[in-house]
Amino acid sequence: MKFAVVVFPGSNCDHDCYHVAKHVMGQDTSFIWHKDHTDLSAFDCIIVPGGFSYGDYLRPGSIATHSPIMQDIVSFAGKGKFVIGICNGFQILTEAGLLPGVLMRNRTLRFICRDVELTVENKDTPFTSAYKEGQVVRIPIAHHDGNYFTDENTLKSIEDSNQVIFRYTDKRGEASVEANPNGSLNNIAGICNKEKNVLGMMPHPERCAEKALGNEDGKAIFESIVKYLS
Amino acid sequence: MKAKVYVTLKKGILDPQGKAVQHSLGAMDFEEVIDVRQGKVFELILDDKTTPEEAEKRVTEMARQLLANTVMENFRVEIE
């Protein structure tokens, strides 16, 4: 299968994503510059990486959304192909309307960079099949704007259709207020669209996907996709 | 012609920045302040070919598409 990693001015997790897809997973992987009119039809999964695209001006992700590549990514996703947005990538996918809701400033107004516990809420997706149901994993977050918000109806609809994929919890899987680092509604850390081919998450699985780093909890996302497509 | 777009957080959405400003004002003895909501103002200069009616329509579209995120923000357009 073929991965592509989008690069915007200000992306800074692009090389980490590339490294995991290419060297850890051993898959064909390309960088694509946001301004090049690259034909996306050859790719199976596009990763929109973390960073501070366009300096987070206006709102995180808002300017990148209007960059030439985003229209192509919206139609790519419309064909049922896979898109993963991590951190700033998640913010971009919500701004682009591929995922519902918005990521607001953290409740504490502080940038938070640390490991957090997440519970895998739904393993019946192409992104999470390699996890166990209800598995608690430890994945780092590094963001200033990760406070997930959406209106009441949308929240109910994403909960009812099992679109919440990861939730901030304690080690026992309890979604407590203390386990919520940024104020996200219902402790939401990652969601997918109704069709389950677009995933957005604030934690960084690409930062914990190989033994040398002492934590492989993020690797199962990449494994799930590779397994699904082969 | 000048257009102004006021972007504010929707009612009910927690505004931690506004709260921080409110606390600071309280600490400065402006104790009559019971709430602060922080927002943004955009000033757009439009060319002379644009009529006020067109401007209102176009700027509303700009706000909807880029300047505001209507999931969490409201906006108001003023043409001067």
Distance from CA of B26 to the nearest CA of A (A): 19
Q: Does B67 touch chain A (CB under 8 A)?
A: yes
Q: What is the ipTM of this complex?
A: 0.84
**How open is the CA angle A17-A21-A26, to the nearest 5 degrees?**
155
Give the pair of three-digit tokens for residue A38: 């690259």
Give the pair of three-digit tokens for residue A117: 């516990």
- The question of whether A17 is a catalytic residue gets the answer no
Q: What is the pTM (predicted TM-score) of this model?
A: 0.94
State the pLDDT confidence band at A20, using cuts at 50, 70 and 90. very high
The candidate with the shortest Cα–Cα distance to A117, out of A174, A182, A177, is A174
Please tell me which residue in A87, A117, A144, A208 is annotated as part of the active site: A87
Contact flag B16-A108 (C-beta cutoff 8 Å) = yes
- What's the CA gap between A199 and A211, in Å, rounded? 24
Determine contact, residues A156/A101, Cβ cutoff 8 Å.
no
Strands A2-7 and A28-33, by their bridges, are parallel
In the predicted model, is pLDDT for residue A37 greater than 90? no
Which chain A positions have a beta carbon within 8 Å of B16's beta carbon? Answer: 105-109
Which chain A positions have a beta carbon within 8 Å of B72's beta carbon? Answer: 102, 104, 149
Contact flag B69-A59 (C-beta cutoff 8 Å) = yes
Determine contact, residues B43/B76, Cβ cutoff 8 Å.
no
pLDDT for position A12: 97
pLDDT, tens digit (0-9, with 9 covering 90-100), for A103-138: 999 999 999 999 999 999 999 999 999 999 999 999
The pLDDT of A185-196, averaged and rounded, is 98
> Residue B40: closest CA among chain A residues belongs to which residue?
A58
- The question of whether A204 is a catalytic residue gets the answer yes
The helix/strand/coil state of A25 is coil
The pLDDT of B28-49, averaged and rounded, is 96
pLDDT for position A6: 98
Percent of chain A topping pLDDT 90: 98
User: Chain A interface, mutation test: which of B15, B19, B66, most A Cβ atoms within 10 Å?
Assistant: B66
pLDDT, tens digit (0-9, with 9 covering 90-100), for B56-80: 999 999 999 999 999 999 999 999 9
The pLDDT of A200-227, averaged and rounded, is 97
In the predicted model, is pLDDT for residue A53 greater than 90? yes
pLDDT for position B12: 86
pLDDT for position A230: 85
